[in-house]
């Protein structure tokens, strides 16, 4: 069954997918519900057909691998249960910090949750939270963690691994310790102050914030913008200002935790649509308008579609042109979270709107963070003047919480100056092009090697699937020893059978670094048997003109 699906994928990959039976919106979903291959469709009426250059792949998990992966988790859980019994009867020494039983108190944690942490996550927990003793640049110094008791306790050693950094979200390589950005931040610490702890409405609005807000708005090409000191809080604190009871929130199933929390805090009805699946979204929009609110059938007050630009676990890019068509047809509002796409996508680094050549004013609420491409911290909301006025007055952050620390604001300002060429150099555009090239090169080579790579060919988040939790741990440890720092993600952050390695591309990576990384991954792929892909390699090639420095 699965093999048949995999073979179908091959057909789609081969390029002549126009004669394949297509879904309603020109999309051919695969067995796992996601769209594979180039999504060309001649029915789309637009000056430039974006779909011709929109290549995404999500290869189906082979059935046997899926079964074995589930078995792998099953064995881990089984052994865990046996050892819990042994620990309960004090046959095995309990090394964990478990909750002491206090008479009359209800235990603080649900048993399954802490069971999973103790027995599954604990075994491989050295693959996460690795301490770093340098900036998150192209190379990173990872401090070695040693454990004598099977990861119950981890101790830092003096040893440091100097490894290539494919784990940090340093898309444009602005996480730097020297250069104009770091200098302006340093100067700001000296001249202004390290932090402004008042809220904006209580004498915490400084000239630095004014400058930052204006710069961000101008960079994005919208009327106005407002900034906050934490990206996560930008979503969770501000979504409740937009919708409330009697409103409908349509959220992509793979939206980030901050959007999920923000949605929950709004108090509106939340419905989830399948990842990037426009047919499903349209179905839900239509149903919402025809049926109205549950029970009383009154019409909804507003409908807000919440999507991300680039999905950080799948590496897919939102099908924004179609979302905007649906938005117009059904009069919904669109909230676009560009945490991973701002700076990293589009010929000018202005995110998904730039990538698709869409006027950013068509999106109602543009959100993004400064943590990733800007090498700083915090987030922004941008849109029409009226929208931002509303946030200035009613955002939780404007009233109750601290404003952006000035040095961090200065870092963002100088990065924007460089990307948009205000500083008079071409360094910004060079970085954007380097990132685009690196991404395509890495994705093509990995797919050619036979890895199952997820996502869009232009997405700087490059996940490849390794399935087993055991393989996750070994690839992470072995890669670190050989000089490569990667992020691995497993259940519960991904579906059980889709444990993956994630590479984050950066403009700071050189071609030599990429080749070295590919060599390491190629070796590891053979050693650990990770090359699961059965499809023919993709038909795209990186655009070498990006590297021509004029």
Of the pair 130, 215, the CB lying nearest another protein is at: 130
Contact 538, 57 (CB under 8 A): yes
Of the pair 377, 514, the CB lying nearest another protein is at: 377
Of the pair 41, 263, the CB lying nearest another protein is at: 263
The span from the CA of 541 to the CA of 55, in Å, is 11
Which residues, 6+ apart, have CB-to-CB distance to 401 below 8 Å?
199, 229, 233, 237
The only residue of 157, 207, 296, 545 in contact with another protein, by rule CB under 8 A: 207
Helix (H) or strand (E) holding 365: strand 365-369
**Interaction of residue 256 with another protein, rule CB under 8 A:** yes
Contact 338, 373 (CB under 8 A): no
**Interaction of residue 196 with another protein, rule CB under 8 A:** yes
The only residue of 9, 36, 41, 236 in contact with another protein, by rule CB under 8 A: 236
DSSP per-residue codes, 61-127: PPHHHHHHHHHHHHHHHHHHHHHHHHHHTTSS---S-PPPP-TTPPPSS-HHHHHHIIIIIGGGGGG
**Interaction of residue 111 with another protein, rule CB under 8 A:** no
> Which residues, 56 to 95, sit near another protein by CB under 8 A?
none
Work out how close the CB of 471 gets to another protein at its nearest, in angstroms, rounded to a whole number: 18
Q: Maximum distance among all alpha carbons in the chain? A: 74
> Which residues, 166 to 185, sit near another protein by CB under 8 A?
167-170, 175-178, 181-182, 185
Q: At residue 269, what are phi and psi to the nearest 5 degrees?
A: -75, 130
**From 55-63, 127-135, 422-430, 540-548, span contacting another protein (CB under 8 A):** 127-135
Work out how close the CB of 128 gets to another protein at its nearest, in angstroms, rounded to a whole number: 4
Work out how close the CB of 272 gets to another protein at its nearest, in angstroms, rounded to a whole number: 17
**Interaction of residue 265 with another protein, rule CB under 8 A:** yes
Contact 199, 397 (CB under 8 A): yes
Sign, CA torsion 357/363/368/374? positive
The span from the CA of 138 to the CA of 505, in Å, is 10
Which residues, 6+ apart, have CB-to-CB distance to 393 below 8 Å?
none
∠ CA 299-301-304, rounded to 5°: 115
DSSP per-residue codes, 427-443: HHHHHHHHHHHHHHHHH
Q: Residue 68: left (phi > 0), alpha (psi -120 to 50), or beta? A: alpha
Contact 163, 484 (CB under 8 A): yes
Binding letters toward another protein, positions 448-487, x by CB under 8 A = -------------------------------------x-x
Of the pair 230, 418, the CB lying nearest another protein is at: 230
> Which residues, 385 to 404, sit near another protein by CB under 8 A?
385-387, 389-390, 392-394, 396-397, 399-402
In the three-class reduction of DSSP (H, G, I as helix; E, B as strand; rest coil), residue 14 is classed as coil
The only residue of 25, 36, 57, 258 in contact with another protein, by rule CB under 8 A: 258
Of the pair 37, 490, the CB lying nearest another protein is at: 490
**Interaction of residue 197 with another protein, rule CB under 8 A:** yes
∠ CA 149-155-158, rounded to 5°: 135
**Interaction of residue 420 with another protein, rule CB under 8 A:** no
Work out how close the CB of 4 gets to another protein at its nearest, in angstroms, rounded to a whole number: 36
The count of chain residues that interact with another protein, using the rule CB under 8 A, is: 120
The only residue of 91, 290, 295, 296 in contact with another protein, by rule CB under 8 A: 290
> Which residues, 297 to 356, sit near another protein by CB under 8 A?
299-303, 329-333
The only residue of 3, 42, 46, 117 in contact with another protein, by rule CB under 8 A: 117
Work out how close the CB of 371 gets to another protein at its nearest, in angstroms, rounded to a whole number: 4
The only residue of 14, 32, 53, 201 in contact with another protein, by rule CB under 8 A: 201
- Can you tell me which residue has the tokens 């025809």? 290
**Interaction of residue 231 with another protein, rule CB under 8 A:** yes
**Interaction of residue 159 with another protein, rule CB under 8 A:** no
Of the pair 8, 392, the CB lying nearest another protein is at: 392
Q: At residue 312, what are phi and psi to the nearest 5 degrees?
A: -75, -20
Of the pair 165, 277, the CB lying nearest another protein is at: 165
For residue 398 the two structure tokens come to 């404007």
Q: Residue 125: left (phi > 0), alpha (psi -120 to 50), or beta? A: alpha
**Interaction of residue 425 with another protein, rule CB under 8 A:** no
The only residue of 212, 366, 408, 501 in contact with another protein, by rule CB under 8 A: 408
Work out how close the CB of 346 gets to another protein at its nearest, in angstroms, rounded to a whole number: 20
Work out how close the CB of 13 gets to another protein at its nearest, in angstroms, rounded to a whole number: 30
DSSP per-residue codes, 226-240: EEES-HHHHHHHHGG
Residue 39: count of CB within 10 angstroms of its CB? 23
The only residue of 43, 106, 112, 148 in contact with another protein, by rule CB under 8 A: 106
**Interaction of residue 114 with another protein, rule CB under 8 A:** yes
Work out how close the CB of 314 gets to another protein at its nearest, in angstroms, rounded to a whole number: 16
Work out how close the CB of 161 gets to another protein at its nearest, in angstroms, rounded to a whole number: 11
Please give the distance of CA 290 from its chain centroid, rounded to a whole number: 34
Please give the distance of CA 115 from its chain centroid, rounded to a whole number: 28
């Amino acid at each position: 069954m699965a093999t048949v699906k995999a073979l179908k994928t091959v057909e789609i990959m081969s390029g002549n997918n126009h004669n394949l039976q297509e879904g309603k919106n020109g999309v051919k979903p695969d067995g796992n519900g996601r769209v594979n291959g180039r999504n060309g469709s001649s029915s789309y009426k637009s000056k430039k057909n974006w779909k011709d250059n929109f290549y995404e792949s999500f290869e189906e998990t082979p059935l046997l691998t899926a079964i074995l992966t589930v078995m792998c988790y099953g064995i881990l859980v089984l052994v865990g249960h046996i050892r819990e019994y042994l620990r309960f009867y004090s046959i095995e020494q309990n090394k964990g910090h478990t909750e002491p039983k206090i008479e009359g108190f209800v235990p603080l944690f649900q048993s399954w949750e802490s069971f999973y942490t103790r027995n599954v996550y604990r075994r491989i927990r050295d693959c996460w939270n690795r301490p770093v003793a340098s900036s998150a640049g192209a190379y990173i110094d990872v401090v070695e963690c040693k454990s004598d008791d099977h990861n119950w306790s981890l101790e830092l050693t003096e040893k440091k691994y100097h490894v290539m950094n494919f784990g940090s979200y340093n898309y444009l390589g602005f996480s730097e310790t020297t250069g104009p950005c770091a200098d302006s931040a340093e100067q700001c610490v000296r001249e202004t102050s390290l932090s402004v702890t008042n809220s904006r409405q209580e004498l915490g609005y400084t000239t630095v914030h004014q400058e930052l807000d204006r710069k961000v708005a101008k960079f994005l090409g919208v009327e106005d913008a407002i900034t906050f000191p934490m990206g996560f809080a930008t979503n969770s604190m501000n979504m409740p200002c937009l919708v409330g009871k009697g409103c409908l929130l349509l959220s992509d199933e793979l939206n980030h935790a901050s959007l999920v929390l923000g949605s929950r805090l709004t108090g509106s009805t939340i419905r989830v649509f399948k990842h990037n699946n426009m047919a499903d979204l349209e179905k839900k929009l239509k149903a919402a308008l025809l049926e109205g609110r549950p029970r009383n059938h009154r019409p909804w007050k507003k409908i807000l579609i919440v999507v991300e630009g680039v999905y950080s676990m799948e590496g897919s890019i939102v099908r924004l042109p179609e979302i905007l068509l649906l938005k117009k047809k059904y009069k919904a509002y669109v909230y676009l979270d560009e945490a991973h796409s701002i700076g990293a996508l589009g010929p000018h680094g202005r995110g998904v709107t730039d990538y698709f050549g869409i006027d950013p004013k068509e999106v109602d609420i543009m959100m993004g963070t400064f943590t990733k491409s800007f090498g700083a911290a915090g987030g922004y909301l941008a849109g029409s003047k009226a929208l931002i006025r509303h946030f200035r007055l009613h955002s939780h952050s404007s009233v109750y919480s601290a404003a952006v620390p000035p040095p961090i604001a200065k870092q963002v300002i100088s990065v924007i100056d460089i990307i948009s060429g205000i500083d008079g150099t071409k360094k910004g555009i060079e970085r954007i092009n380097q990132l685009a090239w690196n991404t395509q090169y890495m994705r093509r080579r990995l797919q050619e090697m036979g890895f199952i790579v997820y996502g869009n060919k232009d997405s700087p988040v490059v996940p490849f699937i390794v399935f087993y939790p055991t393989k996750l741990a070994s690839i992470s440890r072995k890669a670190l020893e050989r000089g490569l720092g990667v992020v691995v993600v497993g259940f519960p952050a991904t579906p059980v059978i889709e444990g993956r390695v994630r590479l984050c591309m950066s403009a700071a990576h050189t071609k030599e670094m990429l080749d070295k990384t590919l060599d390491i991954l190629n070796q590891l792929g053979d050693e650990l048997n990770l090359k699961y892909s059965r499809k023919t390699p993709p038909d795209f090639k990186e655009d070498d003109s990006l590297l021509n420095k004029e």
